[in-house]
Chain A
Amino acid sequence: MSSGSLTVVGTGIRLGTHLTRETRLLLETADVVLSLVAEPGMQAVLERLNPKTRSLHDLYELGESRAEAYEAMAEEILRHVREGKNVVAAFYGHPGVFVAPSHEAIRMARAEGYMASMLPGISAEDCLFADLGVDPSRFGCQSYEATDFLVHRRRIDRTAALVLWQIGTVGSVAAAATTQPTGLPVLVEALLEYYPPEHEVTVYEASPYPGFDPLVRTVGLGELSVEHVTALSTLYVPPREPAPLDLTMLDRLGLPRP
């Protein structure tokens, strides 16, 4: 195994308070921390935990492809690993949930013979379950990135909940400093194929600061428009109808019928 290592960690969503003890210790002891967080205070906390913290933020180019920025980030992370350093890459939320460069950096590091691992963090979806009081085990839960959902024409099970990420940038693949839901009308149109216009959906954004409530806006699907959406919004769509019970399956499993 080559010298140099990579550990990818998540900072969670809420400033400082979502860091696990294990993550905090790794951040404090790393040779270098490379960070990509969504809020300036979090960056400041990381720099206080470890003065050798460098932001990957500059690799975003406004208006340019995000995918290219993520390739550059993975390459930048590996550059430090190849120098024999114990590198911690810190991403906001969960580092493996809706984070492209973290997985790519780990894949590259392992392919080159370096130790590489990921620690879990608190994702926006975790916050959503807590703040909206929904349990994915109750109805099941489908989770898609909003643009991916549209361009792949993902099929929806209307008896399960639906979570759509990145509705604040739906239809856009460029890096942006403001909300750009250019594809929101198309998204609403696609959802209206499955749900009636009066079906209530919730635009949600977890609070990044302790002491603040999350953003929760519930509207009829047919009324959902740009003014309801913020840059970091997630859309929660509750099930339209209950899933039917398969009585034959209950019998096969020896479970009692209701």
Chain B
Amino acid sequence: MSLEPIEPRDIKGFQTQQAGRVRAFLERLAMDDDLLVRYINDRVAVLHDEVEDERLNTEDVALLLDSDYSRVYEVMSQGSAPQRWIVIWIV
């Protein structure tokens, strides 16, 4: 078995696709009160359902179950081309 190097454009494509899926989920979470209540009460069950319905995959779930939200932020920011997110307060 040979391990081919991953092309940078493939990595970018993966990040963009993952950002799209995670963004769509977080948007629904922000807009859908019932989903939010279910998520607050049982995050794992909601994410399981999302995978079942093929809206998220296991890598997305691992990201969302990580204890560190900075990875989610990174994925969301990298997937939101072309603007760079300026992460400062507004003063």
Chain A positions near chain B (C-beta within 8 angstroms): 15-17, 36, 38-45, 48-49, 55, 57-58, 60, 62, 66, 70, 91-93, 98-102, 124, 145, 165-166, 168-169, 175-179, 207-213, 215, 230-232
Contact = CB atoms under 8 A, between A and B. Distances in A.
B90 A208 contact: no
B90 A45 contact: no
Across the A-B interface, give the 4 residue pairs with the lowest CB-CB distance, nearest first.
A16-B30, A212-B69, A40-B80, A231-B87
Given A45-B31, A98-B91, 10 more contacts: A15-B30, A36-B90, A40-B77, A42-B30, A57-B86, A62-B86, A175-B86, A176-B87, A179-B87, A210-B29
Interface of B, secondary structure class, is: helix
6 contacts: A16-B29, A42-B30, A91-B90, A98-B89, A100-B90, A232-B88
B21 to A, nearest CB: 12
Nearest to A147: B91
A166 B89 CA distance: 7
A124 B89 CA distance: 10
A38 B72 contact: no
A211 B88 contact: no
A40 B76 contact: yes
A231 B91 CA distance: 14
Give the interface centre of B83, B85, B87 by most chain A CB atoms within 10 Å.
Answer: B87
Given A40-B85, A41-B23, A177-B84, A98 B31 contact: no
A144 to B, nearest CB: 11
Nearest to B77: A40
B11 interface: no
Interface stretch (B2-10, B36-44, B51-59): B36-44
Interface residues of B, number: 31
B77 A62 contact: no
B90 A101 contact: yes
A33 to B, nearest CB: 15
Contacts of B72: 209, 212
Given A17-B30, A17-B36, A207-B69, A232 B23 contact: no
A209 B83 CA distance: 21
A145 B91 contact: yes
B28 to A, nearest CB: 9
Given A39-B73, A210-B39, A211-B39, A169 B29 contact: no
